[in-house]
Structure 1
Amino acid sequence: MSKFGVIVLGPAGAGKTTFCSSLIQNLRNNKRSCFYINLDPAAEDFVYEPDIDIKDLISLSDVMEEMSLGPNGGLIYCFEFLLENMDFLTEPLEEITEEYLIVIDMPGQIELYTHIPILPALVKELAGGALNVRMCAAYLLEATFIADRAKFFAGTLSAMSAMLMLEIPHVNILSKMDLVKGTVARRDLKKFLNPEAELLDDDPAAPRMVPEQEQKGNAEDDPLAPKNMMGGASFQRLNRAVAQLIDDFSMVQFLQLDVQDEDSVGAVLSYIDDAVQYHEAQEPKEPTYDLDEDMEDDYGDG
């Protein structure tokens, strides 16, 4: 019997915990069962108390103090410690039935799932063996990134890197859509849902450069000056190379998410359900009423 889960990823500030809370609320509103796991060893405040909290096993503050590590190194240590003590996760999950959706909230350090094999090992543990959790990833990218093409493509590249590393079904989401409503035209917003390199052609933030500057850069300016490092010809060529790589792979598409809108949360949940094939595994449910009695009430004994 399979179990079903979604692992919520994304950079810091993308709204992962808020999305988890809205997802749980939507599940409860639709009378669906949910099992909430917090794997952020620095998280403190929750709308819904996690069923499993990694801080009951290890906390980032303790690791930083006792091991004299910084936040990133401490976080990696926490997950290495978790992998050495996987029974902390696996034993409670053994009792979970297929009617539950397991929601796993992750920290915002993207190196955990872009180029360090810690999270792929964790996913492999959950998806394999007796647990057999059908996993999908929900990668959140803040919608305000669209105001800066370079930032948007860097975030999109991170999403694609996570897709390649985890090798599980993936749902990419532009979160905090309420922050860009009224500031971006709908037809312009659609261009970001299927990222293409052509987005750089109409970047209002990019300085205009003549063809010679595009090929050689501006020899008169210091290439190490901050304005040239973040806005010079070399920087633009790097952005175009990244954007073209994303365009060539054509793997990343985004859904829109406004956590204040229940329909928006429900739409994202439907994609998650499809990715893990949740509904296909559910047994048909018997009616909770007596059909014969209802017919008698409606039509009488005759």
Structure 2
Amino acid sequence: MPFGEVVCGSPGSGKSTYCYGKHQLFTALNRPIAIVNLDPANENIPYPCAIDVASLIKLEDVMNEFGLGPNGGMLYCMEYLEANYDWLEDQLKELDKDDYVLFDLPGQVELSTNHPSVKNIIKKLTKSGFRLAAVHLCDAHYVTDASKYVSVLMLSLRAMLHLELPHVNVLSKIDLIHQYGDLDFNLDFYTEVQDLSYLENLLTQQSPRYAALNMAICSLVEDFGLVGFETLAVEDKESMLHLTHVIDKATGCVFVPPESVGQPPDTVDASDKPSTQRPNTYALMTSAAGQIRGPRSDARDVQERWIDAREEWDAWEKVQWRKEGVQVQEEAARQKSKIRERNPTAPPAEKTASAT
């Protein structure tokens, strides 16, 4: 019963960078992970790739053989992969059963919003036992422009309805958002997709010709009530950990304890032990399903870190990194001295001979 993610998003949203960051994080946590590259045009893969679709089909070969453009060639590649799903299934069987699997999709948005091939592949993966969540990355700079934000809302909603998976929308590159100007509202307005009628004045000023259309799209998004966003700064450990917790909750991974942990025969141990020593599976489940709390779990904290007080936080983190580096050096020196004490060097042969 492997868990995993289907990482999708428009070109340049940071999908491959996210997969690489996830690999580094899971490696540090001693959590097994395998990454599957499903982009036949991705020639510069930054992460260790367990399975590469380029060994089955390449976009360049398809374009040369059939005279297709990049988009048409990509659709053909996905249809070819769907027709040869047995190849992917055989490759996945060679992975470790405990591996957390990331599927890195191509950047063509029609693959996750309209075209059926990726959806059919996901259905086959689900039937084979995978528990997947769709992680849809959107560049955070879109929230600095009202019309672009509306388009991202529509794109995210379309992907959610098409893929039919537990879905996590993510505003990636949140640490770079300060480069694109000030926000018209607080960050939580965009992440929680609050009352979109407040965008009407901005949309009218930017594009009066399409103001009515934009507001109709906003009304549609609000009627569904499905879209919301998490934030991500790949180089920030707290941000990656928070997003990992959110995705684990979406896939149900939080409800599956490690095999090494023995489960009680009953839901609650009714012995006379203190409450802190009584195993309570029900309490575990309710805690896992509760609100996620942490340094990057609140959009207001994210706004303070990356927008309002970015320079102050950067300076504070540099001091903490310097202290951590000193602690690591001191610990390494202590370990080295302990090794010398346990294994003292033998006296030189000349001194030993003269002493005798």
TM-score bucket of the superposed structures, by smaller chain = 0.7 to 0.9
Task: Pick one of 175, 185, 208 that aligns with 1:232.
Answer: 208
Query: How far is the alpha carbon of 1:279 from its aligned partner?
Result: 3.2
Query: How far is the alpha carbon of 1:201 from its aligned partner?
Result: 3.2
Residue number in structure 2 paired with 1:81:
80
- Determine if contact 1:3/1:97 at 8 Å carries over to the other structure: no
Residue number in structure 2 paired with 1:241:
216
Instruction: Identify, as 1 or 2, the structure richer in helix.
Output: 2
Show the 5 A alignment for 1:173-252.
Answer: 173-181=170-178, 183-184=181-182, 188-195=186-193, 196-203=195-202, 206-207=204-205, 231-233=207-209, 235-252=210-227
Q: Does 1:140 align with 2:140?
A: no
Instruction: State the alpha-carbon separation in 2 of the partners of residues 64 and 171 from structure 1.
Output: 33
Q: Does 1:115 align with 2:91?
A: no
Instruction: State the alpha-carbon separation in 1 of the partners of residues 55 and 114 from structure 2.
Output: 27
Q: What SS does structure 1 have at the residue aligned with 2:133?
A: strand
- 1:286 to 1:115, Cα distance in 2 relative to 1, 3 A: closer
Provide, for residues 157-213 of structure 1, a one-character-per-residue CA deviation record: whole Å limited to 9, x for no partner: 11111111111100110001011148446961110002242241352x742xxxxxx
The count of corresponding residues between Structure 1 and Structure 2 is 260
- 1:240 to 1:96, Cα distance in 2 relative to 1, 3 A: same
Instruction: State the alpha-carbon separation in 2 of the partners of residues 139 and 280 from structure 1.
Output: 23
Instruction: State the alpha-carbon separation in 2 of the partners of residues 20 and 202 from structure 1.
Output: 38
Query: In the alignment, residue 137 of structure 1 is paired with which amino acid?
Result: A
Q: What SS does structure 2 have at the residue aligned with 1:104?
A: strand
Instruction: State the alpha-carbon separation in 2 of the partners of residues 244 and 286 from structure 1.
Output: 48
- Determine if contact 1:3/1:96 at 8 Å carries over to the other structure: no
Query: In the alignment, residue 173 of structure 1 is paired with which amino acid?
Result: V
- 1:275 to 1:286, Cα distance in 2 relative to 1, 3 A: closer
Residue number in structure 2 paired with 1:50:
49
Runs of 4+ in 1 over 6 A off after TM superposition: none
Query: How far is the alpha carbon of 1:151 from its aligned partner?
Result: 1.2
Instruction: State the alpha-carbon separation in 2 of the partners of residues 111 and 232 from structure 1.
Output: 28
Query: How far is the alpha carbon of 1:143 from its aligned partner?
Result: 0.4
Structure 1: runs of 5+ lacking an equivalent: 208-229, 288-302
Instruction: State the alpha-carbon separation in 2 of the partners of residues 188 and 157 from structure 1.
Output: 21
Q: What SS does structure 2 have at the residue aligned with 1:180?
A: helix
Query: In the alignment, residue 190 of structure 2 is paired with which amino acid?
Result: F
Show the 5 A alignment for 1:1-302.
Answer: 2-128=1-127, 131-181=128-178, 183-184=181-182, 188-195=186-193, 196-203=195-202, 206-207=204-205, 231-233=207-209, 235-285=210-260
- 1:199 to 1:57, Cα distance in 2 relative to 1, 3 A: farther
- Determine if contact 1:176/1:258 at 8 Å carries over to the other structure: yes
- Determine if contact 1:191/1:199 at 8 Å carries over to the other structure: no
Instruction: State the alpha-carbon separation in 1 of the partners of residues 94 and 56 from structure 2.
Output: 20
Query: How far is the alpha carbon of 1:237 from its aligned partner?
Result: 0.8
**TM, length-normalised to structure 2:** 0.69
Query: In the alignment, residue 273 of structure 1 is paired with which amino acid?
Result: D
Query: How far is the alpha carbon of 1:39 from its aligned partner?
Result: 0.6
* 158-167 vs 91-100, which moves further: 91-100
Task: Quote the RMSD (CA, aligned, Å).
Answer: 1.9
- 1:94 to 1:281, Cα distance in 2 relative to 1, 3 A: farther
Q: What SS does structure 1 have at the residue aligned with 2:11?
A: coil
Provide, for residues 210-260 of structure 1, a one-character-per-residue CA deviation record: whole Å limited to 9, x for no partner: xxxxxxxxxxxxxxxxxxxx8233x11111111111111110110010111
Q: What SS does structure 2 have at the residue aligned with 1:102?
A: strand
Structure 2: runs of 5+ lacking an equivalent: 263-356
Instruction: State the alpha-carbon separation in 1 of the partners of residues 95 and 254 from structure 2.
Output: 16
Residue number in structure 2 paired with 1:211:
none
Query: How far is the alpha carbon of 1:274 from its aligned partner?
Result: 1.0
Residue number in structure 2 paired with 1:221:
none
- Determine if contact 2:38/2:104 at 8 Å carries over to the other structure: yes
Instruction: State the alpha-carbon separation in 2 of the partners of residues 274 and 177 from structure 1.
Output: 22
Query: How far is the alpha carbon of 1:153 from its aligned partner?
Result: 1.3
